[in-house]
Structure 1
Amino acid sequence: MSEELVEQNVEARLGRQKLLTKTPGVEFSFVIGETALRNRIGGGDVMREQLGRLLDLRTTGNVEIQVMPNLSGYHTGLEGPFVLLETAEQHRRFGYIESQTLGFVISDATWVSTLGLRYGRLRSKALQIDESAAFIEQLLEEHDGK
């Protein structure tokens, strides 16, 4: 990957991060797999910063984060990441599915509904919001000790 492409990807991610705190009235809900939180990418300082950022997002009032434990067994999240969104004006719902090389926007109501059901099942199987925060705090303490 070229440096220019890396820079573009970083800028895009930073732009998405700003949406979490600068978009009043928009609610966000995430289910993050435990493995994603445990993978040491960028070293201990980066991991502490990332985990701390997740904890900070709790205070915004519009961001909910749940952790899917590794021991939870099979769940629909193992089939790949997806995003659900609803427009504010017309309350239209869309889905977005991505792989390593491609992404697809889904507008078909049946498929979007299926993704909604899958997300509901994911949330019900994941740790509750407070349990997830405690889990992330525990991971942060583990990184502080290393």
Structure 2
Amino acid sequence: MPASILVLNGPNLNLLGTRQPDVYGTTTLADVEAICRAAAARAGREVAFVQSNHEGALIDAVHAARGAHGAIVVNAGAFTHTSIALMDALSSVDLPVAEVHLSNIHRREAFRHTSYVSLVAVGMIAGFGAQGYALAIDALDAHLAAAGR
């Protein structure tokens, strides 16, 4: 069976579609999941989803990914800029990580320009809205295929 991909969403992403639509668009988290399912299906991979507003729950999901998934797509929300613990968890499971942001974090407030996740990610996709998740799945699929997984 091909390696599955975990899509991990952090705090406030459960409010997509209604939270600051001028920044994050009107796409809901359910829409994001549908986009991811379609991208994974095209790649012949399975996909699983976790969203939490709690840092520890996200860390637990990362730990549980070891042995269960082949890669992780993560939009850590504000934890991107603050959570060394989440970065350490991602680093500890030895899985390729693609970081996703709906908005271009480098065109926003200066505090958003620092990403702890980027330090352990294969790459980052930012500014393409929900389509960034599909791009991340495509990129991880290629990365896994190159590694024979």
Do they fold alike, i.e. is TM over 0.5? no
Higher radius of gyration, 1 or 2: 1
Task: Please report the TM-score for the alignment, with normalisation by the length of structure 1.
Answer: 0.31
The structure carrying a bigger helix percent of its residues is: 1
TM-score (norm 2): 0.30
